[in-house]
Chains A and B, each alone.
Chain A
Amino acid sequence: MKQFNLKLIAMAVVGGLLFTSCGNSSNPDNNGHHEHQEGMDHDHSTHQHGESTERNVTSNNGEQKGDLIPVLEKYFSMNAHLVSDDASSAAKSSEKMVTALKAFKGTGFTADEQTEVNEILESAIENAEHIAENAGEISHQREHLVALSTDMKDLIAIVGTSQKLYEDFCPMANNNEGAMWISNKEEIHNPYMGSKMPKCGKVNRVIE
């Protein structure tokens, strides 16, 4: 089920952990396991990507199979509200995200990709609906954000992106089990910890 088309995703793992396999589009295991490859304390802001890697990344990013911007816009604003512990605004953004998810149409998917995309959308809509319906319970919203963020990551991996995105990870989120989220900013704004620890986390991967 994890047969993602790596043509569409380009990865640059902080610390160069996976640089050797980034350009290898035949390795299906390449996706979805990075966030667990830890053990390094990097300051992402000082990390520079090598020129050759950048070029490699660009060449792997040929086609996009849909426009995720309307979906991601709502996702980012929902996350911003969760960063400031504003559950009711987060619920409103999430409601708009549901609409955007329902309106999403991609093109040029293989049959397998289409099945996967349908499953992701179904799950994402369900998760976003929960966030929209739980304006009174921010912890419940954040719980569904864990799954929704995975949905977004997997959707981006198939559809591609025109924006530069960051896959962030906070080991303390999700009751210390750790959780990732997608951001369009390089600085960390943690939607799981909110005002308690808004800077907790690191960039695990750059998606472009």
Chain B
Amino acid sequence: MVVSLVALVGIQFIPANLNKQEVIPTSDIRHVYDIPDKVLNILETSCYDCHSNNTNYPWYSNIQPARMIMDHHVEEGKEELNFNEFKNYSDRRKKNKIKSIISQIEDGNMPIPSYALMHNDVRVSADDKKEVMKWFKTKLKD
């Protein structure tokens, strides 16, 4: 009991990463395509926390081990797909990314269910998911 308490206090000192960049870079996906406001809004609310250089940190992110898990998600998410860097991807990769976006949403893998569970605000309704996928599908035809 005492040991786990000490451990819990101890891990609070693990340094956290900070993924913050308020200015939207010129390489952001909104500078590649003309994205409908609604779709962009959904992306920013429900995807950008892990797939951009700007995370909107919830209150519990100040507590370990929550932050460690979150940092890990952000790191992996950005490596896989960074909407802030979308313009820098080759056309071939842009197409790959869009295909993966569609199938990940379609299969219910994104947004990560546990993350959506913790954040009411990032949960995406089935209709909104359809709208996002529909828009991305139009980009595959370009």
Shortest Cβ gap from B113 to chain A (Å): 16
Nearest Cβ distance between residue B27 and chain A, in whole angstroms? Answer: 17
Q: Is the interface of A mostly helix, strand, loop or mixed?
A: helix
| Most B-side CB within 10 Å, residue of A1, A123, A147 | A123
Check A119 against B103 for contact (C-beta < 8 Å). no
The bracket for how many chain A residues form the interface is 10 to 19
Contact A147 B96 (CB under 8 A): yes
**Docked-complex contact B96 and A127, CB < 8 angstroms:** yes
Contact (Cβ within 8 A) A120 B96: no
The yes or no answer to B114 lying at the interface (CB within 8 A) is: no
Q: CB-CB < 8 A to A126: which residues of B? A: 93, 96
Give Cα A155 to B26, complex, Å.
Answer: 31
Question: Measured between alpha carbons, how far is A61 from B92 in the docked complex, in Å?
Answer: 26
Decide if A151 is an interface residue (CB 8 Å cutoff).
Answer: yes
B91 CB–A CB distance under 8 Å: yes
Number of A-B contacts (CB under 8 A): 24
CB-based contact A123/B103 at 8 Å: no
Q: Is the CB of A147 within 8 A of B90?
A: no
Q: Which of A129-165 contact B (CB under 8 A)?
A: 143, 146-147, 151
The reply on A122 being an interface residue by CB < 8 A is: yes
| CB pair A143 B103 closer than 8 Å | yes
Residues in A neighbouring B96, C-beta threshold 8 A? 123, 126-127, 147
| CB <8 Å contact, A120 and B92 | yes
| Residue picked from A1, A120, A147, A151, most chain B C-beta under 10 Å | A147
- Tell whether B78 is near chain A: CB-to-CB under 8 Å: no
In whole angstroms, what is the CA distance A1 to B93 when docked?
13
Q: What CA separation (Å) do A127 and B93 show in the bound complex?
A: 10
Given that A127-B96, A147-B96 are contacting pairs, would A122 and B103 also be in contact in the complex, using a CB cutoff of 8 Å?
Answer: no
Chain B residues with a Cβ under 8 A of chain A: 90-93, 95-96, 99-100, 103
